[in-house]
Every structure is written in structure tokens, then in C-alpha cells.
A = this chain, B = another copy of it.
């Protein structure tokens, strides 16, 4: 295929669907977001995706017969052997859903599906913080914690596509309940959800804390409030962040002993707090890791922000279909 052609990249999230149109070679023509309406079920979500793609192609003046394939990245457990969406935290009702087959039927295009953190890892590896590395671990730190691995220069999926699920490594026996149903997973200790939960626990106590005033204004409590209160000098909020960083640092010490990567990239909303979070994470990491494994290894933020998944899946679909 050496004529000009296009690829579609999709980041299928719980609240919005991001769709990108790119030329072969990687140049992105346009990116748009559309509501997912996940609560209305699979048919509505797929219809929203389809109309989003239609809009993008029409506005970009790209005829359907110039589109060579579509890549979709999605949060959750996608079984790459069985080509089956096992379950997704963001998409209720998608259990054991034949996503690939469904999309092939709908779009009559070759479809590539990937876990969103894996796609983000590949994006940062090819175009962002991971450039020039061989072995890289990426974590997406948001409401949940996802992970993606690039090993020996290639995206690593594992035997069924579940490689890199660092959010669900058991860290604290009898720890807080995780979204997966078990206790003490990393995600239950260091995600945005975990930080917000600890913030609420703090407010349930009687101590004075800046956090109380901030939440009285905004009405709800998100991880971002805890970070902001800590930046403004609130010791209790800083303690919450330090504890999340402690668990994340220990988890990285574990992952690094297993993988010996050249770099660990932290991305997602929580990582957007930058050094305020990276600094204690690095401190706890170095306290826990075998020093030999940590020399010459970087812990750094991602560079592509919310585009990492789209960039990664576009690269993957082009590599796999060319």
C-alpha cells in the first residue's frame, strides 16, 4: 500500500470517545472528542463512535476507501488471544463482548485493539519520554492505575494481553478494598480514587485541615484537592500524598527488580502534579529498591499527556497493517 491512505485512532473512555484521523506516516489530521454515554449500553456507545468517525472523515475530506484500518484502545481487560473484552471498569455491560468482531462488522476495516495503558506506553515510547529506550514501564495514574510495558523495543502483552497490570499487584494484606474486589491492590492505595478516599477519611475526623475549607467551597472532594491543600501547606494532606507515594515507590521497586527497565514513565492526572508527587515517589522507591537496579534508571513524567494512547494506537495499527 504505497498510495496516500489514512488510519483512524480511537481512545474509548468511560466519559468520552477521542477519535483521531491520521495520514500514513503518522501525521494527525484532526482529533475530536464525543460523549461515550457508557451507561446507555454497547449499542449506543458504538453508534456514538460511528457518528464521531463519520464527522471526522467528512470534515477532513477523507473518503472511506482511503481508510486502511482502525486502532482502538480501551481501559480494562481485553483478552488478545480470545479477542474478547473480558471486562472494563469504565464500560458497564461490556463483559465478554466481542469488540473486535463487532467493530470489523460495523466499519468493514481491519481493527487493532489494545489496552489503553499499553497504547499509552507505546505512544510515549515512540514519540515521548521513552524515545531512545529499549525497556520501559509506563503507569497511568488516574482514577485507577494502569500499566503498559515496552520490552526489547516492542510492546509486551503477555500470554493473554494482561501484561503490565501493576494496578492490581497485591501490596498490603487486608488493605483497602479495590475496584477489582480484592484488598490492598496498588490501585486501592495510590490511585486518585484512593487519595480522595483518604481525604474523605481525614474530613471524617475532627482535626483542623485546610482541606475542609477547600471542600466546603467546591462541594466534592477529589484527589486534586488533596494535592492543592498540600501545596498550600496542609500537613495532613501532605501525609496522604506521602503515603500514596510510599506504596507507589514500593510497587516500582518490585516492578524494577522484575523488569530492569531503563525508564519508568508516570502519566495520567495524578502524574500531572509533577515533582510534588514524583519527588516522594522517588524517595520511597530508592529506600525500597536494590540500589544496583536503580542506578542509570529514570523515573519521569510522560510528555504526550492525554494524546499518548491515541498516538500509540495509531502507531500500532500502522505497524500491524503495513
- A residues engaging B (CB < 8 A)? 77, 86, 133-135, 147, 149, 151-152, 154, 156-166, 168-170, 173, 180, 182, 185, 250, 253-255, 257-262, 288-290, 292-293, 296-297
Contacts and interface: CB of A to CB of B under 8 A. Distances in A.
Given A151-B156, A152-B156, A259-B258, A162 B292 contact: yes
Given A134-B159, A159-B135, A166 B258 contact: yes
Contacts of A160: 260, 296
Contacts of A163: 135, 258-260
A63 B93 CA distance: 69
A260 B157 contact: yes
Copies of this chain, whole number = 2
Given A151-B156, A152-B154, A162 B254 contact: no
Contacts of A173: 250
Contacts of A260: 157-165
A135 B156 CA distance: 10
A262 B159 CA distance: 6
Q: Which 8 A-B pairs have the closest CB atoms?
A: A158-B260, A159-B262, A162-B260, A163-B260, A169-B254, A170-B288, A169-B257, A165-B257
B168 A290 contact: yes
A201 to B, nearest CB: 21
Nearest to A250: B170
A102 B258 CA distance: 29
27 contacts: A77-B292, A133-B159, A135-B159, A135-B163, A147-B258, A151-B151, A158-B259, A158-B261, A159-B260, A159-B262, A160-B260, A160-B296, A162-B257, A162-B260, A162-B293, A163-B258, A165-B257, A165-B258, A165-B260, A168-B293, A169-B258, A170-B257, A170-B288, A180-B290, A182-B288, A255-B258, A258-B258
